[in-house]
Amino acid sequence: MVERTLVIFKPDLVKRNLIGKIINIFEEATLKVVAMKMIRPERKAIEKHYVATDAWLCGVGKKTLVCCL
């Protein structure tokens, strides 16, 4: 039985140039990358998945500062 998994890289991972390292980890674990596609979703699609309340935005901002500083 063949299993397939969808992996989504978030924009901060792309900005930090970590995609190659992540793919390398998959390949070292003998996983096979069969397809790859980079898209920039439209604002409407993003708004369906993320509720942009002030509390949420503040939390994301704090996590980003901790991660990137």
pLDDT tens readout for residues 1-56: 778 888 888 888 888 999 999 999 999 999 988 899 888 888 888 888 777 788 88
Cβ pair 64, 12 in contact under 8 A: yes
Q: Count how many domains the chain has.
A: 1
Please indicate, yes or no, if residue 4 is contained in any of the structural domains.
Answer: no
Please indicate, yes or no, if residue 6 is contained in any of the structural domains.
Answer: no
Exposed/middle/buried for 68, CB within 10 Å: 0-12, 13-18, 19+?
A: exposed
Please indicate, yes or no, if residue 55 is contained in any of the structural domains.
Answer: yes
How far is Cα 67 from Cα 69, in angstroms, rounded to an integer?
6
Please indicate, yes or no, if residue 34 is contained in any of the structural domains.
Answer: yes
pLDDT tens across 4-15, in order? 888 888 888 888
How far is Cα 62 from Cα 58, in angstroms, rounded to an integer?
6
Please indicate, yes or no, if residue 24 is contained in any of the structural domains.
Answer: yes
Q: Residue 33 belongs to what domain range? A: 11-68
Q: Please tell me whether the overall predicted TM-score, pTM, comes out greater than 0.95 for this model.
A: no
Please indicate, yes or no, if residue 41 is contained in any of the structural domains.
Answer: yes
Please indicate, yes or no, if residue 2 is contained in any of the structural domains.
Answer: no
